[in-house]
Structure 1
Amino acid sequence: MAIRVLVVDDSSFFRRRVSEILDLDPMLKVVDTAANGKEAVEKSRTGSYDVITMDIEMPVMDGISAVREIMKTNPIPVLMFSSLTHDGAQATLDALDAGAMDFLPKRFEDIARSKEEAILLLQQRVKAIARRRPLIAPRSAALRPSASSSALDTAKAGSLASRSRSAPLGGVTPARQVPAPPIERKTAPKRTGKSYQLLAIGTSTGGPVALQKVLTALPANFPHPIVLIQHMPGTFTAAFAARLNTLCQINVKEAEDGDSLRPGHAYLAPGGKQMLLEGRAGAARLRIIDGNDKVNYKPCVDITFASAAKIYGAKVLAVVLTGMGADGREGARLLKDQGANIWAQDEETCVVYGMPQAIAKAGLASESLPLPIIGEAIVNEMSH
């Protein structure tokens, strides 16, 4: 049975264009359209749809308000279309906070190198989020950066300056064993007793909400640096890092070339670039480069994980969260070969069980964990 889609946009040209692209795939069927958010909300209550594609800026009711109403009454997976601007980034993040599952730039030429690639990507994204129940959590006004964010940053700085800066934990690397299938858990796993110096997290589709859930669970005195790789356009990562920084007790920033890795700080790889680690454990720095155009993802989880394996070896906890494809698998393999610990998000709580599934199927994940407990589990594993 074909996936039923509702296409929402105030432009009749764009509604027709999206409908034609989706209907090219026999697994997809556009069964209706709407010209504004109000129509979309009304149709979502009476129609039977598997996915809604939604514009952000529309008359009568905007896309963000529409998503919020749809999630209250009849949650349906929503794919947002947005502009690649600073304002577009802020609005897209608001839509994800409201419950949208994924987003794509409205200008298809911004997401692919050819028309055929753009068509395939849109079709794949719609199929990936279809029939996945949205994970709706209570939202608050704190999700939006405000004038109070600078005060929060000041408070963070004072907290970080007053805490003790202990040296990275040492320890003997345990002998590597043949990987066993990951164990699915509903409670945080027992601490392994491993010694760590770095937390590395990779994600894609569904990642913004997942990262927010994980990072807000970490305390201000988290004892290790954190590198974050989220598939996201370059105009979005600065806004996303700023938003996370307002929500988290740790410090979050968009990574810059030459940044020194500091405990309690998270560094988000800039979109359109590659992020590598160089130097030595305990005194590592970040390199931000353009990278090879033949690499599918910018940033790429595999590339950052591979560089972490060279610098930190066994002293890494790498976590792969929701996302399409298999980015992160080969980097995780290199980390595992060095004795590092690899976790994957479980299927039930993923928006798209692609990247974590690739890790699990390759026998690289020691744990397969539901999203709500991953932050707690990280603190338990790394903070002692």
Structure 2
Amino acid sequence: MYKVLVVDDSAFMRQLIKSILEQTGRFSVMVAQTPLIALDRVRKFKFDVITIDYEMPYMNGVELIKKIKEITDSKILMISAYTHPGAHTTFEALSAGAFDYILKPSGEDEIKEFKYELIKKVTAACEEYKKIRSKETLEEIKGRKILLEESLIERAKSAKVVGIGISTGGPPVLEKMFKSLKSDFPLPILVVQHMPPNFTKAFAERLAFITSKCIKEAEDNEEVKPGCIYIAKGGYHLAVEERQGKLYTRVLDLEKIKSHKPSADILFSSIAEACEKDAIGIIMTGMGSDGSDGILEMRKKGAITIAQNEKTCVVFGMPKAAIEIDAIEFVMSPEEIVELLNMI
């Protein structure tokens, strides 16, 4: 049975989270109403997962995360407010070491969705905490060596666009990658990061501030500019289309794909259609299988397709799903991916 600590100064939220998790029969739950009590619990007991609210007495959630990380390697989930300011604090929590976040329900009509997300993400965090990282595979080593081959670099230089699909564990990885990307990087990058409305605009603003690069939430029907990074808008799909030799974004209000909106499958599929072999598709850390079908279309068109390696993923689900259907040509770490991009 997995052990979970719930840290929240709201008696209602403590009881709600505790009852949801315990009803599954898979979790043993302990609670703490203040950060000071939480730190005492963490010193005395071992937890697989700790859920933390942001606004609490004595210290906020981000400060608590940093102190917990000094004591234990337990996975931490942030309970986030569904607001623009809430988004900014969530990204601070992820940078401080949180595994993922869950949106706090603002009314009874959102309890069902909260229950689904809570069980899914706490389970995933527990499984990742227990999992022993495997050694590097020959495929990963092959991916590292092939970076030096001129044929791959030449293929990358002919690309018109880079597409990235990413989910759990994504924000800190993208921050590091975009900071390391050379200032004169010539290609546009389109990113599907699974996030709700309100969060994607805040995320784009944060990335632009941290990296000093052209990064924005994608708008419909805008010409895709060289060197700019476009973040898919939460609650909408992002696609790209070619018109008279130029690429344009499309922001689409369609049904969810594999429970996601935005969906990496939609983005990758549109890139395959618009750019054929002249593109790079990258699928990175995240739960589930979003992006696998779309990036397979890209590979069939001759595009370069890359998956993040298991060792560096917070959750290996999305890359693994793509690898298993032979949609991936190269498996690399984020550092190796940036190394390749900086050769363009």
Taking structure 2 as the reference length, the TM-score comes to: 0.90
Give the Cα–Cα distance (whole angstroms) in 1 for the partners of residues 108 and 256 of structure 2: 15
| Structure 2 CA distance for partners of 1:253 and 1:84, relative to 1, 3 Å | same
- Which structure 2 residues correspond to residues 167-316 of structure 1 after superposition, within 5 A? 183-185=139-141, 187=144, 189-191=147-149, 192=152, 193-194=154-155, 195-280=158-243, 282-292=245-255, 296-316=259-279
The answer to whether 1:340 aligns with 2:303 is: yes
Give the Cα–Cα distance (whole angstroms) in 1 for the partners of residues 101 and 259 of structure 2: 18
Per-residue CA deviations over 1:186-245 (Å, capped at 9, x if unaligned) read: 846224131211111011111111111222111121111100000001101111101111
Give the Cα–Cα distance (whole angstroms) in 1 for the partners of residues 313 and 67 of structure 2: 23
Contact 1:182–1:368 at 8 Å: present in 2 too? no
Give the Cα–Cα distance (whole angstroms) in 2 for the partners of residues 361 and 276 of structure 1: 25
Contact 1:37–1:65 at 8 Å: present in 2 too? no
Query: Which structure shows the bigger proportion of residues in helix conformation?
Result: 2
Other-structure match for 1:164: none
User: Residue type matched to 1:130 in 2?
Assistant: C
Other-structure match for 1:91: 89
Deviation at 1:133, TM superposition (A): 5.9
Give the Cα–Cα distance (whole angstroms) in 2 for the partners of residues 349 and 204 of structure 1: 14
Deviation at 1:131, TM superposition (A): 5.5
- Which structure 2 residues correspond to residues 150-161 of structure 1 after superposition, within 5 A? none
| Aligned with 1:373 (options 333, 336, 340) | 336
- Which structure 2 residues correspond to residues 351-366 of structure 1 after superposition, within 5 A? 351-366=314-329
| Aligned with 2:125 (options 129, 133, 137) | 129
Give the Cα–Cα distance (whole angstroms) in 1 for the partners of residues 304 and 216 of structure 2: 25
Give the Cα–Cα distance (whole angstroms) in 2 for the partners of residues 53 and 130 of structure 1: 12
Question: SS at 2:216's partner residue?
Answer: strand
What is the identity percentage for the equivalent residue pairs of Structure 1 and Structure 2?
36
Deviation at 1:370, TM superposition (A): 2.3
Which runs of no fewer than 5 residues in structure 2 stay unpaired? 131-136
Question: SS at 1:42's partner residue?
Answer: helix
Deviation at 1:375, TM superposition (A): 1.7
Deviation at 1:274, TM superposition (A): 1.1
Deviation at 1:29, TM superposition (A): 2.1
Give the Cα–Cα distance (whole angstroms) in 2 for the partners of residues 323 and 5 of structure 1: 22
Contact 1:322–1:345 at 8 Å: present in 2 too? yes
| Structure 2 CA distance for partners of 1:9 and 1:97, relative to 1, 3 Å | same
User: Residue type matched to 1:309 in 2?
Assistant: A
| Structure 2 CA distance for partners of 1:282 and 1:65, relative to 1, 3 Å | farther
Question: SS at 1:284's partner residue?
Answer: strand
Per-residue CA deviations over 1:149-180 (Å, capped at 9, x if unaligned) read: xxxxxxxxxxxxxxxxxxxxxxxxxxxxxxxx
Other-structure match for 1:178: none
- Which structure 2 residues correspond to residues 53-92 of structure 1 after superposition, within 5 A? 53-92=51-90
The answer to whether 1:51 aligns with 2:49 is: yes
Question: SS at 2:198's partner residue?
Answer: helix
Taking structure 1 as the reference length, the TM-score comes to: 0.81
* Runs of 4+ more than 6 Å apart: 108-112
| Structure 2 CA distance for partners of 1:268 and 1:111, relative to 1, 3 Å | farther
Which runs of no fewer than 5 residues in structure 1 stay unpaired? 135-180
Give the Cα–Cα distance (whole angstroms) in 2 for the partners of residues 132 and 325 of structure 1: 14
Question: SS at 1:87's partner residue?
Answer: helix
| Aligned with 1:328 (options 285, 291, 296) | 291
The answer to whether 1:21 aligns with 2:20 is: yes
Give the Cα–Cα distance (whole angstroms) in 2 for the partners of residues 315 and 280 of structure 1: 16
Count, aligned residues: 331
Deviation at 1:41, TM superposition (A): 2.4
Give the Cα–Cα distance (whole angstroms) in 1 for the partners of residues 245 and 126 of structure 2: 44
Question: 271-280 or 330-339, which moves further after superposition?
Answer: 271-280
